[in-house]
Structure 1
Amino acid sequence: MKLRGAHALLFATLVFGASAVAAGQRAVGPGSPIYGVKLPDGYRDWKLISVAQENGKNNDIRAILGNPAAVEAFRKGTRPFPDGAVIVRLAWRYQSSPRNDAVFPAPQSFVAGAPTNVQVSVKDSKRYAASGGWGYGQFEAGLPNPDPAIARACFTCHQKLGKLEGGADFVFTAWSE
């Protein structure tokens, strides 16, 4: 009987979590390892900062969104970013669109395919002092990736920007006009 109850609880948790993700709300659960970053409520309604494409292993297209504090800092060129700035990067597989290409004289249309992950960067200079003032999280299907190596890899990569002239406060993205 206890096992049946545990299965029912697990099923309810999965259904509720999937429903919350489908509705665009934050999934219930822990934050990312190391930093404790959570998927922000309402982030899909934030302003677009830029778009990007990664070739090679990632083979994805990305939309970079920001909360009001991040957007204001991007627009004004404020660096370092103020505490409370949050940047969210959504990624999808980069794929051709046979449907769209059927309209054009040659294959040329590419679109977002299956989602890969959502990455979140949160600026808090005191809480995340050891990582340049930023906390990181990667989410798949609305849930934080539990692998601490993934969270560590975020700062390892962003840290390389700090070695470049005008390090951009560890942020890859620039404001797109």
Structure 2
Amino acid sequence: MRKIILASLAVGVVSSAVAAAFAANTSNPDQLSPIYGVSLPDGYRKWELVAPAQEAAPLNELRAVVGNDIAVKAYRDGKLPFPDGTVLVKLAWKHTQSPEFESASIPGAATTVQVMVKDATKYAASGGWGFGRFIDGKPADRAQHETCFACHEGRVKQRDYVFTKWAP
């Protein structure tokens, strides 16, 4: 029993450390999101796809959500709430018609990269999630970040505040 308790504590410490590393993986405070202090995680463009999405008007965007290994495992296992250390990144582009194939859509100009980091202790006031919204690699202003949790809380609280469902 003692080994199980110690192992559980170790997993919790490691998960919190992973989330903290992703939440502040930069020494430049100008690269941290206001309110939550989240940064763009290193190597996120190589993460596994969780799901694509298309946003209708007024945003008219194509989106892709990718997750770190902890996020992907939680999705595959159907685990809610997501464990600490989960990081989800949503990439968004303007929805553009392909010039080569009329019925196809392609990504146009990049619009935002949005990040969610799970750390139930650090972000207890926002359902255990820290949020970051980045435009051209720089954090969006504070007003844009103030809308993050309110939208998630009002619409997907029952899914641990996460909109994106796994696309097998």
TM-score normalized by the length of structure 2:
0.81
Contact 2:63 2:90 in 1 (8 A): yes
Which residue among 162, 166, 170 is the counterpart of 2:161? Answer: 170
Contact 2:156 2:163 in 1 (8 A): no
Matches of 2:152 and 2:112, distance apart in 1 = 17
For structure 1, list consecutive stretches of 5 or more residues without a partner in the other structure: 1-25, 102-107
Aligned to 1:7: none
Per-residue deviation, 1:171: 0.2
Trace 1:11-90 onto structure 2 (pairs within 5 A). 29-90=30-91
| SS in structure 2 at match of 1:62 | strand
Per-residue deviation, 1:162: 4.3
Per-residue deviation, 1:27: 10
Matches of 2:63 and 2:32, distance apart in 1 = 22
Which residue among 127, 143, 150 is the counterpart of 1:156? Answer: 150
Contact 1:49 1:66 in 2 (8 A): yes
Matches of 1:155 and 1:35, distance apart in 2 = 11
Aligned to 1:142: 137
Matches of 2:159 and 2:57, distance apart in 1 = 25
Output one character per residue of 1:42-79: Cα deviation in whole Å (capped at 9) or x when no partner. 00000000000001111101000000001100111100
Matches of 1:162 and 1:43, distance apart in 2 = 24
For structure 2, list consecutive stretches of 5 or more residues without a partner in the other structure: 1-25
Matches of 1:49 and 1:134, distance apart in 2 = 18
Contact 1:97 1:109 in 2 (8 A): yes
Contact 1:90 1:118 in 2 (8 A): yes
- Identity %, equivalent residues: 51
The structure that has the greater radius of gyration is: 1
Aligned to 1:105: none
Per-residue deviation, 1:150: 1.0
Contact 2:47 2:67 in 1 (8 A): yes
| SS in structure 2 at match of 1:71 | helix
Matches of 2:40 and 2:105, distance apart in 1 = 28
Aligned in 2, Cα 1:127/1:114: closer, same or farther, shift over 3 Å? same
Aligned to 1:95: 96
What is the number of residues matched between the two proteins? Answer: 142
Contact 1:161 1:171 in 2 (8 A): no
Matches of 1:33 and 1:66, distance apart in 2 = 22
Matches of 2:97 and 2:62, distance apart in 1 = 12
Segments of 4+ moved more than 2 angstroms: 26-30
Matches of 1:64 and 1:30, distance apart in 2 = 21
